[in-house]
Amino acid sequence: MSIAVIYGGTRAGGNTEQLAERALNGLEAERIYLKDYDIRAIEDHRHSEEGFRDRGDDYNAIIDRALRHDILLFATPIYWYGMSGPIKNFVDRWSQTLRDADRPGFREQMKAKTAYVIAVGGDQPLLKGLPLVLQFQHIFGFFGTTYGGYILGEGNRPGDIAQDREAMRKADLLHVQLKERLS
Amino acid sequence: MSIAVIYGGTRAGGNTEQLAERALNGLEAERIYLKDYDIRAIEDHRHSEEGFRDRGDDYNAIIDRALRHDILLFATPIYWYGMSGPIKNFVDRWSQTLRDADRPGFREQMKAKTAYVIAVGGDQPLLKGLPLVLQFQHIFGFFGTTYGGYILGEGNRPGDIAQDREAMRKADLLHVQLKERLS
Amino acid sequence: MSIAVIYGGTRAGGNTEQLAERALNGLEAERIYLKDYDIRAIEDHRHSEEGFRDRGDDYNAIIDRALRHDILLFATPIYWYGMSGPIKNFVDRWSQTLRDADRPGFREQMKAKTAYVIAVGGDQPLLKGLPLVLQFQHIFGFFGTTYGGYILGEGNRPGDIAQDREAMRKADLLHVQLKERLS
Amino acid sequence: MSIAVIYGGTRAGGNTEQLAERALNGLEAERIYLKDYDIRAIEDHRHSEEGFRDRGDDYNAIIDRALRHDILLFATPIYWYGMSGPIKNFVDRWSQTLRDADRPGFREQMKAKTAYVIAVGGDQPLLKGLPLVLQFQHIFGFFGTTYGGYILGEGNRPGDIAQDREAMRKADLLHVQLKERLS
């Protein structure tokens, strides 16, 4: 059992990252910072004769790294009440992987995983972050991925998340769960 | 009164575009196809000393075009139960415009507008598209923009939307509303 | 194939009823007006030794009438952004029927049905009625009942619904669907 | 500052009650067990000439007790992915109080309060309880009541809630908040 964390934020060391690292609390994990890579928007060629074209970016390398792990932790700041653009572009490309002859079994692999969502925003995330939670519910439901849980945290300025006691405690509980799974 | 349509799709002439054009039905509108432009992900510098940096892409030109109009029609395919990556990147950049000294009054301008959402997807959009509708509710609520309405349509293969009689009729009704507003 | 309409409203001839009758438009249907019956709140005895007790009200007669039909149309005014109290009490009692030795196969019967929701409210039903739509999605999902669709209409004062052109047209489309199913 | 807890459950000492009492942890509060009272469904007479009629039940006494307090804690089991029938009937009657000449200022009183929701269910409450959270968001939004927070807990058989460590810790955090407010 092993963990991959997909970071969707565009700042280093932001509130979302702090909360996710609190959950990891030293556990080994593959950390993927999407902001450090070139991941382009999907070009929808599901219905073109020629099919999808390789976009020559970092996407395939990233999805291969993520798929090696049993547990996926999606850590995204809440931008405009949803996941960040970079993480959305990453997820959108899954439509391509579903038809990628070089990566057969994507759907089955995703079905076998457990996924968590950590999302931090500044404007009432416990209420206004709910559509994001529901969206991930539909995403994981598509594959049959187990939705292990989610944490919505509140933070605006750097470091604010430390003041969100509820989110911090939920991260501590998630840590216990993750540790049990790894052992 | 005038209309801007922001297209978030990555195919030309897709189902979402067909549904939006049915609503326009010949009405004059500024059509912005995000796929034809370079709009980068936001780099969150809300809290950096230097502030946001110009990203040297097409974003500012696009937002300026959109803001000239009273009615904004967001037309996006439903990718993974949310707006497409390109439209998400476009929306994310609003955080930059909110602090852009060259574009003061962004919030007030948005407040004065009426916005509509047209979204088409293949997997039970009337149910699984609801988080997207809720997300736009929060987005428009942030500004005080009037949420004029939304249409969720069903389509997967090119042209499918024509079979969604309910969505087509809602587009016809939206056409009547838009026409009344323009006159 | 036959239809049962479960009316949750507490007024005769209200907006919700008008909209549902527009969808029926003369089709034969068993109309159940919950307001005319005594349906008590559930007493949760799932975990008592003695199990559920007969409450001596009209519930069992009503659920038997509803279950005879293939199509269930739940027509409820939106009270406080949810289904009305009478319809909630009716639905709550399903927990009793699930354990009622005199009514075996309730779950399987519900799975075989198609259900529709018609809900009318006065405060932005297209947006604020969405939690109600989502709730029914979970309810039908529990049984595997097909969620045929829903109509959210706007109406406050008696007769207002006639002004909601979109809802009226959706009712007309539902009529076509219902008619096809019955034939 | 004082607290009223409105219990919507139909069992004594159920999981919801245990979770709410954990949050109170000895704090003084007015506990209202709706199951012990006769609260009838609303009869919608907003538009009748004669207006609402007194229903001769316990509702008015109950609402008067609740309104004396600054903090309202709504504690309901999740029945069919929503609040219980008794609590729904109680809330539905607010439409009557809004027009009750003997209880002027209901809207203003509610606006001044802070409300919390505690809800416990057996079928993935963290995901399938979200429509209930959204519904209360609209309800409190109607009045301008401050939505202080919510706790979704998981429990099916009596006592299960004690195993939901996350919910228990959230209750402990709520206790700290409530205690601070009272002092």
* DSSP annotation of D156: -
Mutation target vs B (from A38, A87, A107, A135; most B CBs, 10 A cutoff): A135
Averaged over A22-40, what is the pLDDT?
A: 97
The pLDDT-based confidence of B169 (bands split at 50, 70, 90) is very high
Q: What is the ipTM of this complex?
A: 0.95
Closest CA to D126 of A140, A181, A150, A143: A150
% of chain C surpassing 90 pLDDT = 89
Q: Which positions in chain A touch D133 (Cβ < 8 Å)?
A: 127, 130
Averaged over C108-125, what is the pLDDT?
A: 98
pLDDT (0 to 100) of residue A131: 98
pLDDT (0 to 100) of residue C56: 85
Domain count, chain C: 1
The pLDDT-based confidence of B99 (bands split at 50, 70, 90) is very high
Averaged over A49-72, what is the pLDDT?
A: 90
Instruction: Summarize pLDDT for B31-85 with one digit per residue, the tens.
Output: 999 999 999 999 877 777 777 777 789 999 999 999 999 999 999 999 999 999 9
* D48 pLDDT above the threshold of 90: no
The pLDDT-based confidence of D62 (bands split at 50, 70, 90) is very high
* A68 pLDDT above the threshold of 80: yes
Q: B169–C173: do the CB atoms touch at under 8 Å? A: yes
Residue A68 has φ and ψ, to the nearest 5°, of -70, -15
Decide the pairing of beta strands D146-154 and B3-7: unpaired
pLDDT (0 to 100) of residue A52: 73
As a whole number of angstroms, the distance between CA D152 and CA D132 comes to 10
Averaged over B78-106, what is the pLDDT?
A: 97
The pLDDT-based confidence of A170 (bands split at 50, 70, 90) is very high
Name the E strands within chain D: 3-7, 30-33, 71-77, 114-121, 146-154
The pLDDT-based confidence of D52 (bands split at 50, 70, 90) is confident
% of chain A surpassing 90 pLDDT = 89
Q: B149–C126: do the CB atoms touch at under 8 Å? A: yes
Q: Which positions in chain C touch B165 (Cβ < 8 Å)?
A: 173
Residue D77 belongs to domain spanning: 3-182
C11, D46, D118, D124 from D49: Cα distances, Å: 14, 9, 39, 46
Q: Which helix (H) or strand (E) holds B111?
A: helix B106-111
Averaged over C46-72, what is the pLDDT?
A: 89
Averaged over B22-29, what is the pLDDT?
A: 97
B26, B115, B146, C124, D71 from B149: Cα distances, Å: 20, 7, 9, 10, 35
pLDDT (0 to 100) of residue C126: 98
Q: D47–C158: do the CB atoms touch at under 8 Å? A: yes
* A106 pLDDT above the threshold of 80: yes
The pLDDT-based confidence of A12 (bands split at 50, 70, 90) is confident
pLDDT (0 to 100) of residue B14: 94
* A87 pLDDT above the threshold of 80: yes
The pLDDT-based confidence of A73 (bands split at 50, 70, 90) is very high
pLDDT (0 to 100) of residue D45: 78
C145, C159, D79 from C106: Cα distances, Å: 12, 37, 17
B82 beta partners: B79
Q: Which positions in chain A touch D147 (Cβ < 8 Å)?
A: 127
**CATH number for the domain harbouring residue D138:** 3.40.50.360
Averaged over D13-38, what is the pLDDT?
A: 97
As a whole number of angstroms, the distance between CA D68 and CA D59 comes to 15
pLDDT (0 to 100) of residue B36: 96
* B183 pLDDT above the threshold of 80: yes
* D90 pLDDT above the threshold of 80: yes
Nearest CA in chain D to A141: D127
Sign for the CA dihedral angle at A101, A102, A105, A111 comes to negative
Nearest CA in chain A to D137: A127
* A53 pLDDT above the threshold of 80: no
CA distance C173 to chain B (A): 7
Tokens, residue D2: 């004082």
Instruction: Summarize pLDDT for C14-28 with one digit per residue, the tens.
Output: 999 999 999 999 999
